[in-house]
Structure 1
């Protein structure tokens, strides 16, 4: 039995004549935290959306396998039942629901009420600001608070694979630190993670392995610690 939780082979995505992703291969093995880094517009978010079937009308080729089975034709809402969750770029919280209701939505595939209550208590302990504001509408939260909520909501489903799309975008340095602290803690608990992130340094410091994406192609892959020391990565993404 392969350790692959996610295997993407020959993925191509084209919007009309624009080729956003040009035949990439990547894989994430059980228990790994894999970072996909690259400049804005490299095709990283498109790749995540192709995996989850949430792209607008476009041409998609190649295969995406999750735990050995193809995701082709899977409705995105069925992925949560398959223990695959995504925190989208821009957070995507339910703005007209309270924090508590958002967390309950994250657990909609579960029916273990005691476990759900325990998980909500755990995330309130991890993110005390959410607890303080539990009855507040999610749309009134700051960007950082919404990011906390989006992550906690995704983790309420007990995912076996968590996809994170630009979790640090637009956040203050102290909030970025907190979010990455949680990402590392979730990874340490054995949750398999594919992290798309523009902050290459933080992503590679947290990850086991990394991929560099540029103009729709994977240009480099390897051990994350080695990539942090690679002169090409330093020059292009670490400002060194």
Structure 2
């Protein structure tokens, strides 16, 4: 049994004549928090959607292996049963369901009622705002509250690998701080995380390792702490 939980080899994604991802290799070991940083349009979200099988019609080449098994022809809804969950860009909460109902939807693959109840209590403790509004429709929440809910809902499935797509996008500084506090907490509990994030500084501070993506290609990778001090990363992504 390898400790590699996710392995991407030679991934290429093309929409017609547009090459969004150009033959990337990426690997994540169990328990790691790995971040994928880069500018808008670099191909980061396309990479996550290729992993989860949620891309629109396009040409995909290469292999994606999760827990030693290829993900080719695996439907996206089956991934939750395999303990892979994603918090998409834009949150994707069920707007016409309550907070409580959203959390229960996150646990739909489970049947341990006591464990589910314990997890609801756990995430209500982590996110007190959600507890205060448990009966409120998710569509009436602020962007930050919806992000909290999307993360808690994904974690209700007890994922072994959690994909996070731009969790800080559009949030206030105080809310961004809270979201990253939770990301670090989840990582400390041993859940493997692949974090796609535009805020390179916060992402690299939280991560063990990092990859830099530019125009569909991976141009750099390494220890996250080292990358924080790399002059190229500083100049391009940290505004220094």
- Aligned residue runs from structure 1 range 86-101, under 5 A: 86-101=86-101
Matched with 1:12 is 12
Alpha-carbon distance, 1:2 to partner: 1.6
Q: Runs of at least 4 residues of structure 1 off by over 2 A?
A: none
Give the alignment's TM-score, normalised by structure 1. Answer: 1.00
Looking at structure 1, the residues matched to 46 and 34 of structure 2 have their Cα atoms a distance apart, in angstroms, of 17
Q: Deviations over 1:199-239 (max 9, x none)?
A: 00000000000000000000000000000000000000000
Q: Deviations over 1:126-150 (max 9, x none)?
A: 0000000000000000000000000
Q: How many residues align?
A: 240
Unaligned runs of 5+ in 2: none
Unaligned runs of 5+ in 1: none
Alpha-carbon distance, 1:3 to partner: 1.1
Alpha-carbon distance, 1:93 to partner: 0.1
Matched with 1:69 is 69
Looking at structure 2, the residues matched to 217 and 4 of structure 1 have their Cα atoms a distance apart, in angstroms, of 22
Looking at structure 2, the residues matched to 192 and 62 of structure 1 have their Cα atoms a distance apart, in angstroms, of 22
Looking at structure 2, the residues matched to 195 and 126 of structure 1 have their Cα atoms a distance apart, in angstroms, of 20
Looking at structure 1, the residues matched to 123 and 155 of structure 2 have their Cα atoms a distance apart, in angstroms, of 9
Q: How much is the aligned-residue C-alpha RMSD, in angstroms? A: 0.3
Matched with 1:156 is 156
Give the alignment's TM-score, normalised by structure 2. Answer: 1.00
- Aligned residue runs from structure 1 range 1-240, under 5 A: 1-240=1-240
Looking at structure 1, the residues matched to 210 and 3 of structure 2 have their Cα atoms a distance apart, in angstroms, of 17
Looking at structure 2, the residues matched to 123 and 208 of structure 1 have their Cα atoms a distance apart, in angstroms, of 24
Alpha-carbon distance, 1:84 to partner: 0.2
